[in-house]
Amino acid sequence: MVELPTDDEIDRFADFLIDRLPRATRVAQRVTGSFDLAEDAVAMAIDHLIKRYARGGRFPSLPSELEAYVMTTVRNAALRMLKTERARVLAESQATIDALRTNAGVSSEVRRLLNHIPDLPVNEYLPVLMVDLWGFTLKETAEALGCGISTVADRKARAHRRLRDWMMGVPVR
């Protein structure tokens, strides 16, 4: 049978985690690219760790190993948040495409263009949708996709070139 920790032990463990908050936030921020997502990921990870400790979960015994374990947990929480954020963005983008496709007032050329957007690689069509159709800034798009602003701008420019070439009938290489 697992011996549950006392309230004092749980408090000491929580203090240990609080001492590591700045580093954990930096780790999560490097993974997510967003301070807001990083804070949420750290809060989620610390909540998980404290609950697991209170239930008598096993942890590494050496402080350095425990700190590495905490940082890995934070990193995994940040990756989970990015995954759910990306899924949300994909669902919204598909809903926008579907709504624009059914719009009766759209010209045939615009409809052809909209029908071709889903054929773009995912990493290119999301910036096109978010910036050009939804009105997001490059910074907001970069935070949502978990990449840099210049990366979003490059992907958007590549997608615009592909769409332009496709509309002009240039064969795809």
Q: Are 101 and 115 in contact (CB under 8 A)?
A: yes
Select from 34, 43, 2 the least CA-distant residue to 140: 34
Q: What is the pLDDT of residue 23?
A: 93
Q: What is the pLDDT of residue 102?
A: 67
Q: Number of C-alpha atoms within 13 angstroms, CB side, residue 94?
A: 7
Mean pLDDT by 10 residues, the chain (173 residues): 81 90 92 87 92 84 83 93 85 76 64 76 85 86 89 91 79 57
Select from 59, 120, 132 the least CA-distant residue to 96: 132
Cα distances (Å, whole numbers) of residue 166 to 83, 110, 160: 31, 12, 10
Q: What is the pLDDT of residue 103?
A: 62
Confidence (pTM):
0.55
Return the structure tokens found at 34.
């967003």
For the chain, domain boundaries: 7-83, 103-168
Q: Are 4 and 55 in contact (CB under 8 A)?
A: yes
CATH topology of domain 103-168: Arc Repressor Mutant, subunit A (1.10.10)
Q: What is the pLDDT of residue 149?
A: 92
Number of H helices, E strands in the chain: 8, 0
Burial class of residue 154 in the structure, from the number of CB atoms within 10 Å of its CB (0-12 exposed, 13-18 middle, 19+ buried) = middle
Return the structure tokens found at 76.
């995994």
Q: What is the pLDDT of residue 53?
A: 87
Q: What is the pLDDT of residue 93?
A: 77
